[in-house]
Amino acid sequence: MPSIPVVSAGDSPAKVVACLERDGAVVVSGVIDRGVRDSLLRELAPHLESVDPDASLNKKYAEDGGAADFYPGKTKRITALVARSETFRTFVTHPLMRSACDAILKPNCVHYQVHATAALKIGPGAREQVLHREEDPYQFFKVPRPRMIVASMWAITDFTAANGGTKIVPGSHLWPAERVARPDEVVAAAMPAGSVLLWMGGTLHGAGANRTDEWRYGVFLSYSLGWLRQEENQYIDVPGEIARTLSKEVRELVGYRMHLGIGYADPTVRDSRGEKR
């Protein structure tokens, strides 16, 4: 039976990377403590409270060319986490993520960037999500694609098979396009709160069905090569007036820098407050 390797936050970055390269995913336990999780919950609570868990994103997603049933229901979902949470910014710059991205992404770019962010509260009765790859929007490249994305799910509450812990197909980042996962090859990421699940952009994965009466809370964070268009439009979700308040490291990771000439901007153009960027 396939399994997702588990390491601890105290293990070497090389061990984490080796698991990613071999299995396409790894759980790292003990990454964030209760205090950090509580801070994140407090900062994001006002934004999540108003979200209707039964509101479907599928219609809009389908209009943009995506699958008509990609997003499961009974879910509270928000994005723009860099703008909304100071605590989340420490996730963006966390040494665990930086070391993984340095090893996996840096060989294919000068620098990498934040690709997408989301906070997800998965409610009772939520169905499972179709298996997919983070790299699927980049259809120009054939599967298995070059290494373009590293993704992660941060467990704010416990993840179990019963409450829909993220489904992973270990080794699928190396499969050809026609290879279909058998049911016995799909593994639920069971991990206690404070753990982080990392996976390669080419690894098949999807949210699991929540068969319990509890809500599962996770935070998604991914990175991509600096020359790709980001999945989440960071320049809208983190506009200039917010970006200028961020640390240089976070601002550059969001994408406020050039990549070999890609992404230049006229510094004399004024932002929405009438101030120069």
- What is the tens place of the pLDDT at every residue in 212-258? 999 999 999 999 999 999 999 999 999 999 999 999 999 999 999 99
- Alpha carbons within 13 angstroms on the beta-carbon side of residue 47 total 18
- Residue range 5-51, pLDDT digits in tens: 999 999 999 999 999 999 999 999 999 999 999 999 999 999 999 99
Measure Cα distances from 217 to 82, 99, 179, 225 in Å.
Answer: 18, 25, 31, 27
Q: Look at residue 86 in the predicted model and tell me its pLDDT.
A: 98
- Residue range 166-199, pLDDT digits in tens: 999 999 999 999 999 999 999 999 999 999 999 9
Measure Cα distances from 246 to 84, 174, 249, 252 in Å.
Answer: 12, 37, 8, 9
Full strand arrangement of the beta sheet holding 205-206: 187-188, 167-168, 205-206
Share above pLDDT 90 across residues of the chain, in percent, rounded to a whole number = 86
For 14-67, the three-class secondary structure string (H helix, E strand, C coil) is HHHHHHHHHHCEEEEECCCCHHHHHHHHHHHHHHHHCCCCCCCCHHHHHHCCCC
pLDDT band at 277 (very low <50, low <70, confident <90, very high): low
The tokens describing 257, both together, are 């820098």
pTM (global) more than 0.85 = yes
Could you report how far apart the first and last alpha carbons of the chain are, in Å? 54
Q: Is it the case that residue 66 has pLDDT exceeding 80?
A: no
Strand locations in 70-190, DSSP E? Answer: 75-78, 112-122, 149-155, 167-168, 187-188
Lowest mean pLDDT among 120-134, 149-163, 224-238, 255-269: 255-269
Neighbouring residues of 221: CB distance < 8 A, sequence distance ≥ 6: 81, 88, 91, 92, 97, 114, 116, 117, 151, 152, 154
Q: Look at residue 70 in the predicted model and tell me its pLDDT.
A: 72
Find out whether 5 and 26 touch, Cβ atoms under 8 Å.
yes
CATH dotted code for 6-254:
2.60.120.620
Using only the alpha carbons of the chain, give its radius of gyration. Answer: 18
Q: What are phi and psi of 164, to 5 degrees?
A: 95, 25
Q: Which of 17, 32, 23 lies closest to 154 in space, CA to CA?
A: 32
